[in-house]
Amino acid sequence: MKKVCLPLAFACLCLLLSSVLSAQTPSRITIKGTVFDTSGAEIPFATVMLLNPKDTTLVNFSRSDEKGVFSFKNVKNSPYLFKISYIGYIPYTQALATSPTEVNDLGIVRIKPITQELMEVVIRTAKAPLRIRGDTIEYDATTFKVPPGSTVEDLLRRLPGIEVDADGNIRAQGKDVQRVYVDGKTFFGDDPKSATKNLGAETISKVQVYDEKSEQAKLTGVEDGKKEKTMNLELKEEFKKGSFGKITGAIGTEDRWALRGNYNRFNTKQQLSFIAFANNINQTGVNWEDYGEFKGQNTFNDNDNGDFGFGSNRRGWYYFSGDDSPLNNFDGRGFTKNYGGGTNYNFDNKKSKFNISYFYNESTLNLDQYSFRETFLSDNSFTNTDTVTQLDFRGSHSISTRLEQEIDSNDIVIIKANMRLGSNTSDNRQGQLFAESGMPPTNSLELNNNTELSSWRLSGTAIYRHRFKKKGRSIAGSAGYNGSSSDGTENIFSLNRFFQATTLTEQIRQLNNNDNQTQQLKASLLFTEPLHKKWFWETFYNFSQTDNKVNRQVLNPEINNERIDNLSIFYDFNVLYNRLGSDVRYSYEGVNIAVGLAAQQLQLDGKYAIDENLPLLTDPIRRNFTNLIPNLDFSWQLPNNMWLGLNYGYGVEEPRLNDLQPVPNVNNPAFRTEGNPNLVPQRSHDVSGNFNYWNAASFANVGIGMGANFFDNNIVYNQTIEVIDSVGIRTTTRPDNVSGGQNFYTYLWSSFPIIKTKLTFDVNGNINANRSPSFVNGVENETRSNGYQVQAGLNLTPNPKLIVGLDGSLGFNKITYSIQESQNQNIQNHSVDASIKWQFAAKTFLESNLNYSVFRNDRFGFNQEVPIWNASVRRLLGKNNRLEVRLAAFDLLNKKVSITQTGTANYVIRNVASTLARYYMLSLSYNMRGYEDKLKKNGWW
Amino acid sequence: MRLHPVSFFSLFFALLFMAPAPGFAQELEGRIRYLVTHDWSKKFAAVDYISKQARERNAYMWGNRSEWKVYTEMFITPTQTKYQDAEEKAEPEDEGYSWRKEEFMVQRNFETQTNYEVFTMLGKKYLLQDSIHGQDWKILNDMKEVAGHVCMNAFWEDTLKMQKVSAWFALDIPVSSGPERFCGLPGLILEVDVNDGGMIITADKIETRQLTSELDLPKKSKGKKITEAEFRSLLKKHVDEKRKAEEPPFWGVRY
């Protein structure tokens, strides 16, 4: 009890003391007064406020009554800023000190009206915030429109309350302006006109007019009571204007080197960027981060390809526009030397978006690859090994541009064009060895092919959209052109050696001239009509006409380049496509369903001759395919961040051009590829579904999906394998239509924290199954391929300076062949990966990862283990961490190799290619913005 | 527009004889529609714990393309306001994907000084019931017109949600309310700008009419009952976690 009593007594004492003190300065007071205007009229219903004088925080507010009387009762006695604001009047502010009495009567407070012109014009018409600081009135110059090239004088003429006479003298609120400052400083001497006549209006953000002490008063420090009208012009605060860029140079062991750099300049409307790279470390392009900075706000675009109707993407969804992108696309095989560079310009003022971009990219590949292939027949099998040495050069110039212009809120036009010029030379030396399974080799084939190809591609699209006055009614139209041309020569030499036959060698030389041209015109229309609040009716029409001309002249260099008639072909192949369709869509509260039907017609016209000007080999072929295509899209956003989607479509895919050519391609005599001009389009029922869940509170994600294709008509590649005297084992592939065949896939991914923000677990799994029928030497073979893959990983971040990752994956691919079950394959690819990122000292980072992969195929006793260990240390230096020094070791164990294993149709193939293995590299980078002085946790979101 | 020059004389006359613009405090009853413009890249730019480099890169890559618009509405009488999502769509309807709306409502009764909110945060529904909590506004001297009403400017910095809020309140609508959770100014808030364009809420239509059942509370909705203090601590826990994960805190939480 005593413990409670003491503070209680103390509190009582305090209370007593404070009431004694309040006799002098009361703790609670009443502040009152009456609001009048300068003409003497009382102001009813004015807003009166008490603010904290330190930071102008609102403490209390009230309103004057009909007679202008206001009071704040029982408020704390402390200093206040007292403020009155009333429409049409300059806000009134008065500092109030602590009151000695219980009632602080302010008496009559007079407030000044704002001139009606300022009120009407600045606040009402221009909707410009008018800033009033004491006597200063500030205009927002950006809201007063002047023609481009205008001077500040022209701008001032438009400001209410400001006059400029013919000589350029300025008057503000009836008084002559004596001084003009620019950003608070005098501008080229004392003449106020020098600034207003010379500065451009577009450089000004604000115009402030206020009274300043006279020059005399400033000099003497004696207040003479004279005030001079002064104007200050505030320059535009272009806080978003800037530039950034970085450059990296690196040298390494094994003659490795790399250079890359980028530079960007931007302001609120424009972005200009440059990028360049050169290296011999297998970076064939730029990384994603640099690419995003290069393309700027044109990295993502509406997927506006102008193809409306089923299968087209909805507008308003952003897509990564990666066509012809200079992103790194190295496939892991061989050694490359790469050069590239480009520039990009973006303009965006919300109504107009414009982009133009140029890029040059070249890559020289040196490849040594060993392949093993086993092909199964109904009664036996044969193998061939293949050793390739390839030198390949690819270079391309690409230019792309896009303009999106909003004409008004209901009309929009988009125009896009892309152009690409490419050249490719390739020198391919190949040695193949053939054997029947378990037997000694029968023959060897040496191939030496030289290819030169130059090509161009041009595409242009224009899209127009109009929205009608009726809400939800709209029309969109598009037109486009796609053209491409390639011109190439192939110089082919093959030498076939037979180990057992009577003919010991067979030599073929061949010169191919290939000239391909494609022109396509297309157009689409889409009309949307609202049926009811939640119901829409869409009708679309698509048209395209494609003309393909292929001219393949095969010459014999040994007989004066005479044409080999049975291998040469010219064909002109036209595809006319028409589709008319309609759907009904329901969209409401997260439920979006569209059900529709389209009629599609494909008309194929083909003409074949040995050369362009020679008589046709057959009568022109004309075929029509008409299909009715149903379509269903269903997406449902459930509560709590769950999404469910279902789609059904009927796919009709015209045959590929190469599959239609009526003469064989025998660049490699052992693998002959035939076309089939009688192919009909592939048709399939395609279904898919997906479910996603995201829990914002627990940071957990789950996604599940599945899909299947059921083929009504499937284009498959039948094989005929025979032993031919002059060739040895020859495989002939020919496409044909069969009914049947299915694909099925399902996947699951999930990621969730075990310990929030510290330990995260993620898991992925997928199953792929497909059945495809085909004929091998006339016997039907069904290949069933079942793939299973599962990956799981842990990511541990015990503190911000350390991130540890552990990941493992298992992959199985089981392939069975109905013609020969003993050949069933079980291909396995497994790997584990451990990584660490550690900031072990100030501005110093260690990054390392170890990957251990196993490639197996038990039936061949193949089992290869590939451990790859990379490690690097980097340190940031300099002011703002602008410099980075990095020492990196790649593939410390010197084991790097590329292995791929695939099994399809009636064969299984394994490729092993050498690639860049162990090297060490020292690099120095400079970043204008500075590098982040911490570990990168998240790549992208 | 070229204006008639203002001479000192006419200014004098204006001061003497011009009746002040009628500024009676209106007894407003009706509906206010607000246009809400979200810009996620600007929201992202305001997350101070994400590295400057990442925020700058994001702003550079998204430019002006990260905006979306919705309508909200407020029913108002001199003593009550109710704010919720509107039925109207602000984006063109022909492009038609309809998002699910979370249940959301803010009801303030100034007679009983009570605040009642229904909202979903991080996938869970809450009913917040407490007294009205205004923000610690700073009053500035700027004026502009929003939807036909002259407004004054006030500023508040929310350190928890990392938001810089600029609000414009009407001098002639003496209801101390506003959109979302913003209130506590001498007049109704007609415009709010959060983080320089991250979210802009502007009154675009004011209809005066007799209200009938619009202000009624929704039927008993299920959800966890919490107080203002509990809401703040839930939010703080989430922001702290997101800070550690270096991810933006605004997904799953009403901005």
Q: What is the pLDDT of residues A709-764, one digit of tens each?
A: 999 999 999 999 888 877 888 899 999 999 888 999 999 999 999 998 889 999 99
Domain match, A61 and A149 both: no
β-sheet bridge partners, residue B51: none
Encode pLDDT of A891-901 as tens digits: 999 999 999 99
Last residue of a domain, one of A235, A259, A289: A235
Tokens of A527: 């009309």
Alpha helix ranges (H) inside A769-851 = none
CA A208 to centroid of chain Cα atoms: 44
Rounded to a whole number of angstroms, the distance from the CA of A174 to the nearest CA of chain B is 5
Residue of A161, A472, A637 lying closest to B100 (CB–CB): A637
Residue A145 phi, psi dihedral angles, 5° rounding: -80, 130
Q: What percent of chain A has pLDDT over 90?
A: 52
Q: Which of the four pLDDT bands, split at 50, 70 and 90, describes residue A941?
A: very low
Average pLDDT over every residue of B185-206? 94
> Cα–Cα distances in Å, from A138 out to A111, A229, A630, B143?
19, 13, 63, 11
CB of B241 closer than 8 Å to CB of A757: yes
CB of A148 closer than 8 Å to CB of A201: no
Encode pLDDT of A786-802 as tens digits: 999 999 999 999 988 99
Q: Does any domain span residue A365?
A: no
Average pLDDT over every residue of A432-444? 88
DSSP string covering A144-162: S---TT-BHHHHHHTSTTE
Please tell me the predicted confidence (pLDDT) of residue A150: 81
Q: Does any domain span residue A790?
A: yes
Q: Is A784 on the interface with B (CB under 8 A)?
A: no
Encode pLDDT of A855-865 as tens digits: 999 888 889 99
Asked whether the predicted pLDDT for residue A939 surpasses 60, the reply is: no
Please tell me the predicted confidence (pLDDT) of residue A641: 86
Rounded to a whole number of angstroms, the distance from the CA of B147 to the nearest CA of chain A is 10
- Rounded to the nearest integer, the mean pLDDT of chain A is 86
Question: Which of A579, A587, A519 is closest to A311 using CA atoms?
Answer: A579
Please tell me the predicted confidence (pLDDT) of residue B93: 62
Please tell me the predicted confidence (pLDDT) of residue A576: 94
Please tell me the predicted confidence (pLDDT) of residue A116: 66
Asked whether the predicted pLDDT for residue A903 surpasses 70, the reply is: yes
Rounded to a whole number of angstroms, the distance from the CA of B216 to the nearest CA of chain A is 22
Domain match, A56 and A145 both: no
Name the percent of chain B in helix, strand, coil, to the closest 5.
Answer: 20, 35, 45
| Residue A156 backbone class (left: φ over 0; alpha: ψ -120 to 50; beta: rest) | alpha
Q: Of A125-134, A380-389, A538-547, A855-864, where does mean pLDDT reach its minimum? A: A125-134
Asked whether the predicted pLDDT for residue A426 surpasses 80, the reply is: yes
Q: Report the domain count for chain A.
A: 4
Q: Which of the four pLDDT bands, split at 50, 70 and 90, describes residue A603?
A: very high
Q: Of A131-135, A224-228, A428-432, A879-883, where does mean pLDDT reach its minimum? A: A131-135
Q: Which of the four pLDDT bands, split at 50, 70 and 90, describes residue B13?
A: very low
Q: Which of the four pLDDT bands, split at 50, 70 and 90, describes residue A217?
A: low
CA dist., res. A174 & res. A177, Å (int) = 9
Domain match, A75 and A222 both: no
Average pLDDT over every residue of A561-573? 90
Rounded to a whole number of angstroms, the distance from the CA of B84 to the nearest CA of chain A is 15
CA dist., res. A419 & res. A400, Å (int) = 6
Q: Is A262 on the interface with B (CB under 8 A)?
A: no
Between the ranges A228-232, A299-303, A701-705, B6-10, where is the mean pLDDT highest? A701-705
CA dist., res. A62 & res. A493, Å (int) = 98
Please tell me the predicted confidence (pLDDT) of residue A910: 93
- Asked if the Cβ–Cβ distance from A300 to B61 is below 8 Å, we say yes
Q: Of A224-233, A372-381, A483-492, A686-695, where does mean pLDDT reach its minimum? A: A224-233
Q: Quick one: DSSP state of residue A859?
A: G
For residue A695, the chain B residues in CB contact (below 8 A) are 122-123
In CATH, what number is assigned to the domain containing residue A181? 2.170.130.10
Q: Which of the four pLDDT bands, split at 50, 70 and 90, describes residue A806?
A: very high
The residue that leads in pLDDT, A143 or A264, is A264
Give the nearest chain B residue to A298 (CA atoms).
Answer: B61
β-sheet bridge partners, residue A257: A251
Q: Which residues contact A20 (CB under 8 A, 6 or more apart)?
A: none
CA dist., res. A386 & res. A430, Å (int) = 7
Last residue of a domain, one of A111, A141, A166: A111
Mutation target vs B (from A35, A38, A39, A47; most B CBs, 10 A cutoff): A47
CA dist., res. A458 & res. A399, Å (int) = 10
The residue that leads in pLDDT, A228 or A818, is A818
In CATH, what number is assigned to the domain containing residue A90? 2.60.40.10
Domain match, A537 and A643 both: yes
Domain match, A96 and A147 both: no
Last residue of a domain, one of A111, A144, A177: A111
Q: Is A289 on the interface with B (CB under 8 A)?
A: yes
Q: Of A288-297, A875-884, B11-20, where does mean pLDDT reach its minimum? A: B11-20
Q: Is A751 on the interface with B (CB under 8 A)?
A: no
Assembly ipTM: 0.83
CA dist., res. B251 & res. B67, Å (int) = 15
Give residues 629 to 648 of A whose Cβ lies within 8 Å of B: 635, 637-641
For residue A43, the chain B residues in CB contact (below 8 A) are 20
Please tell me the predicted confidence (pLDDT) of residue A324: 64
DSSP string covering A435-456: EETTS---EEEEEEEEEEEEEE
- The order of strands in the sheet holding A103-111 is A69-76, A28-37, A103-111
User: Where does A610-741 show beta strands of DSSP type E?
Assistant: 621-638, 642-653, 665-668, 671-673, 682-695, 700-724, 728-738
Alpha helix ranges (H) inside A161-299 = 192-198, 215-220, 288-295
Tally Cβ neighbours within 10 Å of residue A716. 21
Average pLDDT over every residue of A275-301? 88
Please tell me the predicted confidence (pLDDT) of residue A543: 95
Q: What percent of chain A has pLDDT over 70?
A: 90
SS3 A119: helix
A728-738 and A671-673 strand pairing: parallel
Average pLDDT over every residue of A406-419? 91
Residue A119 phi, psi dihedral angles, 5° rounding: -60, -50
Please tell me the predicted confidence (pLDDT) of residue A323: 54
Asked whether the predicted pLDDT for residue B8 surpasses 60, the reply is: no
Helical (H) or strand (E) element with A5: helix A2-21
β-sheet bridge partners, residue A706: A689, A746
CA A732 to centroid of chain Cα atoms: 42
A47-51 and A80-85 strand pairing: antiparallel
Asked whether the predicted pLDDT for residue A381 surpasses 90, the reply is: no
Q: Does any domain span residue A72?
A: yes
- Asked if the Cβ–Cβ distance from A173 to B6 is below 8 Å, we say yes
Q: Is A270 on the interface with B (CB under 8 A)?
A: no
Q: Which residues contact A576 (CB under 8 A, 6 or more apart)?
A: A544, A545, A546, A601, A602, A603, A605
Domain match, A794 and A873 both: yes
Average pLDDT over every residue of A622-648? 92
Top CATH class of B30-91+100-245 equals mainly beta
Mutation target vs A (from B49, B60, B118, B183; most A CBs, 10 A cutoff): B60
Q: Does any domain span residue A831?
A: yes
β-sheet bridge partners, residue A391: A366, A427
CB of B38 closer than 8 Å to CB of B67: yes
For residue B154, the chain A residues in CB contact (below 8 A) are 58
Give residues 525 to 544 of A whose Cβ lies within 8 Å of B: 528, 530, 534, 536
Tokens of A808: 């493992």
Q: Of A19-23, B72-76, B125-129, where does mean pLDDT reach its minimum? A: A19-23
- Rounded to the nearest integer, the mean pLDDT of chain B is 85
Domain match, A46 and A85 both: yes
Q: Does any domain span residue A732?
A: no
Average pLDDT over every residue of A457-475? 91
The residue that leads in pLDDT, A912 or A305, is A912
Rounded to a whole number of angstroms, the distance from the CA of A297 to the nearest CA of chain B is 4
Q: Is A76 on the interface with B (CB under 8 A)?
A: no
For residue B98, the chain A residues in CB contact (below 8 A) are 534, 587-592
Q: Does any domain span residue A673?
A: yes
Tokens of A402: 């896009």
Q: Which residues contact A892 (CB under 8 A, 6 or more apart)?
A: A869, A870, A871, A918
Domain residue ranges in chain B: 30-91+100-245
Q: What angle do CA A335, A338, A344 make, to 5 degrees?
A: 150
- The total number of residues shown for chain B amounts to 255
- Asked if the Cβ–Cβ distance from B64 to A293 is below 8 Å, we say no
Please tell me the predicted confidence (pLDDT) of residue B1: 37
CA dist., res. A498 & res. B162, Å (int) = 79
| Residue A333 backbone class (left: φ over 0; alpha: ψ -120 to 50; beta: rest) | beta
Q: Which residues contact A102 (CB under 8 A, 6 or more apart)?
A: A26, A28, A29, A30
CB of A325 closer than 8 Å to CB of A287: no
Q: Quick one: DSSP state of residue A333?
A: -
Asked whether the predicted pLDDT for residue B213 surpasses 60, the reply is: yes
Domain match, A61 and A141 both: no
Please tell me the predicted confidence (pLDDT) of residue B84: 95
Average pLDDT over every residue of A866-884? 94
CA dist., res. A660 & res. A657, Å (int) = 5
- Asked if the Cβ–Cβ distance from A47 to B171 is below 8 Å, we say yes
Q: Which residues of A189-226 are buried (b: 16+ CB within 10 A; e: fewer)?
A: eeebbbbbeebebeebebbbbbbbbbeebeeeeeeeee
Domain match, A676 and A532 both: yes
CB of B132 closer than 8 Å to CB of B113: yes
Q: Does any domain span residue A416?
A: no
- The order of strands in the sheet holding A58-63 is A58-63, A47-51, A80-85, A92-96
Residue of B61, B100, B140 lying closest to A296 (CB–CB): B61
Q: Is A292 on the interface with B (CB under 8 A)?
A: yes
Domain match, A629 and A567 both: yes
Domain match, A888 and A772 both: yes
Domain that holds residue A816: 753-941
SS3 A21: helix
CB of A601 closer than 8 Å to CB of A626: yes
CA dist., res. A856 & res. A901, Å (int) = 9
Domain match, A142 and A229 both: yes
Please tell me the predicted confidence (pLDDT) of residue A201: 78
Please tell me the predicted confidence (pLDDT) of residue A315: 47
Residue of B101, B102, B142 lying closest to A131 (CB–CB): B142
Give the nearest chain A residue to B95 (CA atoms).
Answer: A315
Q: Does any domain span residue A674?
A: yes
